[in-house]
Amino acid sequence: MNINHLLLLLLLAFLTSCGNSSDKKKVTIDDFNKKFEDSLVPIPDKNYSVFYAKIKGNSNDTIRLSISPIKTENPKKYYYFIGDFEKEIRSDYYGESNKYITLDPYKATEGKIELKYQL
C-alpha cells in the first residue's frame, strides 16, 4: 500500500468520525410548525459520564426543550427560551437508558435554533 492510499484511508476515517452518530447529534431547526423529537442511544460497551446539550438561537416567542429518559408527552422538566439565547445543559449520565429530546415551538412561530446534544 502506498502513502496516497494510506492518506486516503485516514481522511475517510476522520470524516466518518465527525458526523452524527447514535450518541452524538447536531441539528438546525427553523420549522416552528411542529415539534422536533429525537433520541440518543448509548453505544454498547462505551463508558459515559455526562449528558451534554447546547442550544443557541433566537425565537419570536417562548420555546421549550425537554430531555427525558423515557419518551413521554408530559415530561417532568422543561427549559424555556425566548429572544436571543445560548445555554449549555449538563447532567450525570452513565449509559443507563436512551435520552429523548423534544423541542416544542410552544408559543413561537419564527426563529432559528442550533441544537447539539451528546451522551
**Residue 6 included in any domain:** no
The CATH number covering residue 102 comes to 2.60.120.380
In angstroms, rounded to a whole number, what is the distance separating the alpha carbons of residues 6 and 12?
10
Instruction: Identify the pLDDT of residue 90.
Output: 96
Per the structure, the complete domain to which residue 112 belongs is given by 22-118
Q: What is the mean pLDDT of residues 48-70?
A: 96
Question: Which of 117, 106, 105, 118 shows the shortest CA–CA distance to 30?
Answer: 105
> Nine-digit cell at 79?
427549559
In angstroms, rounded to a whole number, what is the distance separating the alpha carbons of residues 107 and 114?
18
Average pLDDT of the chain to the nearest whole number: 88
> Nine-digit cell at 112?
432559528
For the stretch 4-56, pLDDT in tens is 665 556 555 554 455 567 889 999 999 999 999 999 999 998 999 999 999 99
Q: What count of residues does the chain have?
A: 119
Number of domains in the chain: 1
**Residue 17 included in any domain:** no
Model confidence at 3: pLDDT above 60: yes
Range of weakest confidence among 15-29, 61-75, 89-103: 15-29
**Residue 54 included in any domain:** yes
Query: pTM score > 0.75 for this model?
Result: yes
> Which residues does residue 27 pair with via DSSP β-bridges, in sequence order?
115
